Structure 1
């Protein structure tokens, strides 16, 4: 109120409010585009200045210039003889990406679910914990790549060995992470639950599980990229068609353009996986604030 008059707040125009909301939604995507633009711009500048050999390090405008030629090397059926005689298509590329994505997804789901169950079981059942924990601790340092011959011996050629390697890549780490998070649950949470009459099963379900899931999702996201590395190695040595197989084919034929095109697909697919996992994380951990869930 000034000079005896009442100041009435003026509503902000709807178009301005809509513009702010739209900008807020588009801001993450704009930052991604800006990041890629800087990286690609530096790469192209290095080629333009002659700092990089285009035969060994072709810039994006070269290896993306003829996509149909690159598509010929993508065969969802697993042919390893080189380029397809009939020529590939965008659907062939999507099929190869789908096979790799399926193996990673299956391995992640199995590894996360079983590691959570085993971790809770180790702390819930005393005898099971004393028997299982030493075994998990001894097997955890073994590289997932070292399990590749074992996977082929047991499962043969195809999807099972690749899924098994992804499972191994995260199972032991996630199990130990589960144990660590259980041990870090504040004691007063458990004491308060006991005062309220909760039994052991209810404490694990309603107190411990909600307390450990946020950090476990962070650990899962950190190991997502390790899972992708493992499945690409498995595909490269011949367990089935996929992006790893195409990369190895490009290496054997010294096709640098195909190498970088496949690397681009791997990066974009991995980024999509991470964003999907973040979305699932926000939906599952509905009780966690957006700043905590949206971090990392």
Structure 2
């Protein structure tokens, strides 16, 4: 009962914070702290949203741009997880694999994903493949490092007890290491989804003719700031919804997290 009341209080606090933020935004607009072309009022942004939903912009509907961006994110992010988790497990469990891959990982990790765009465009054109590859390249280091951290963080006592009880290496991996690493993998996924959106928007700003990043860039060139703000808000909402989806999956896959 107490937890339920606490949840309602937290949600109410979030709603109040959002209302206050919009109210401050409206007041700043009324006082003309910034020119209307630089900071449209909330009502102007709302009208831009209605226009995008009813007529679209630049020959594209808002839902088309949302859909294509979500598909790109889904494929690239899923590819990063499917590639990064096995690599991370292998690096954490096998010193030879670690020594072979780690130099490349440390080389790629600090390079901004934006730097890869010219190469990917030259190599693969401006189709879907370079955008998906950019998401994968930008996100996979986060997944690998999170997976390695989870394996390394497995309590030594659990491993000792399992070996004392006669567990095989396969059983130790299945019943000790994997449950220990899953929380770190989901944490890495939650961080990685933000990185994935950053990579996608960067790619769509430069080499796309559809998608939310393209919408923001195209509207910005025409000084349609209200539409730019709508695009930014939609990107933020979609990213937040994906992060919430990962939380839901995590609560089902790792129900013991926070209780042990």
TM-score scaled to structure 1, two decimals?
Answer: 0.79
C-alpha change, 1:28 and 1:277, in structure 2 (3 Å) is farther
Gaps of 5+ in 1: 1-16, 75-82
Query: Which shifted more, 245-254 or 116-125?
Result: 116-125
The corresponding residue for 2:192 is: 223
Q: Does 1:54 find its partner at 2:23? A: no
C-alpha change, 1:173 and 1:23, in structure 2 (3 Å) is closer
Bigger Rg over Cα: 1
The corresponding residue for 1:96 is: 65
Structure-to-structure mapping, 1:139-218, within 5 angstroms: 139-218=108-187
Q: Select the residue among 202, 225, 230 that pairs with 1:261.
A: 230
Structure-to-structure mapping, 1:8-157, within 5 angstroms: 26-71=8-53, 72-74=55-57, 83-84=58-59, 92-157=61-126
- C-alpha distance after superposition, 1:220-239 (max 9, x if no partner): 21232221111011111123
Q: What's the CA shift for 1:122?
A: 1.8
Question: Does structure 2 retain, via aligned residues, the 8 Å contact 1:185–1:211?
Answer: yes
Aligned residue pairs, count:
259
Question: Does structure 1 retain, via aligned residues, the 8 Å contact 2:105–2:141?
Answer: yes
C-alpha change, 1:66 and 1:168, in structure 2 (3 Å) is closer
Cα RMSD after superposing both structures: 2.4
Q: Does 1:283 find its partner at 2:242? A: no
Gaps of 5+ in 2: none
TM-score scaled to structure 2, two decimals?
Answer: 0.89
C-alpha change, 1:197 and 1:128, in structure 2 (3 Å) is same
Higher helix share: 2
